[in-house]
Amino acid sequence: MPAPLAPLAWTALRIGAVAAGAYYVGRRTRQAPKHIWRERALDDAPEGLEVTTQRAPDEANAHAAARLKRTIRLGRGPGVEVDITTLGRVRFRRVD
């Protein structure tokens, strides 16, 4: 009985395309010094999801911050701390 290779080929092609894209982006990024004020803003974000809104006559803002901080250990050895933080802003302003 022949094995269906078409679904496997498409899956391998998609995974290869994602890997090639990640490799390309990784090679094109440049090293930059750390900005202390950015690091501080990310460290000060609370864990979980926080959304705030502000409304003014000419402008409306929505700010969002999300943080997930976990420690992953395999067995009793050393672990890896994963800290994912994101900040976002959406602003609508009336322009005449």
Question: What is the number of structural domains in the chain?
Answer: 1
Is the per-residue pLDDT at 1 higher than 70? no
Residue 83: other Cβ atoms inside 10 A:
13
pLDDT value at position 59? 85
Domain enclosing residue 59, as ranges: 5-93
pLDDT value at position 12? 93
Q: What is the mean pLDDT of residues 23-44?
A: 89
pLDDT value at position 93? 86
pLDDT value at position 68? 94
Residue 77 tokens read as: 């050895």
Q: How confident is the model at residue 54 (pLDDT cuts 50, 70, 90)?
A: confident
Measure the CA–CA gap between 12 and 8, rounded to whole angstroms.
6
